[in-house]
Amino acid sequence: MLEINMEFARGMLFIRLSGILSKRTSKDLKNTLDKMIDEEGIKYFVINLEGLDYIDEEGIHLIMNRYFDITLHDGKLVICGYHHQIQRHVKKDLEQAFQNIESSSNELSALHLINI
């Protein structure tokens, strides 16, 4: 199960994920992000992975694809709060692709990276 908590502040959408981001659960996040990008015109995103217990390749691809969508709209995406278990999985599967996305240890640091 994936829980998605969102908060819009300072011109950025903070998305806090908890649970499992996998092929089975990624559809809700995809739909949410697509709506925010396409319909709401939001350009700046911070995705907090601190509460995730697991992310699979499908979840990683979802984040990567939204990253490319956001940058095409002159936006920015920062990932924060991913712990060692998730970090190892990401680096093992998609190290080169995931290097394009800026990351920080927490939301406050992410806020400074986006700097709008």
Inside any domain, residue 113: no
Task: Report the domain count for the chain.
Answer: 1
For residue 22, what is the domain's CATH number? 3.30.750.24
Inside any domain, residue 116: no
Question: pLDDT band for position 60 (50/70/90)?
Answer: confident
Residue 49: which of 18, 11, 87, 7 has the closest Cα?
A: 18
- 82-101 pLDDT tens trace: 765 565 656 555 455 566 78
Domain that holds residue 6: 2-104
* Whole-structure pTM value: 0.86
Q: Return the axis-axis angle of helices 84-98 and 57-72, rounded to nearest 10°.
A: 50
- 39-51 pLDDT tens trace: 889 999 999 999 9
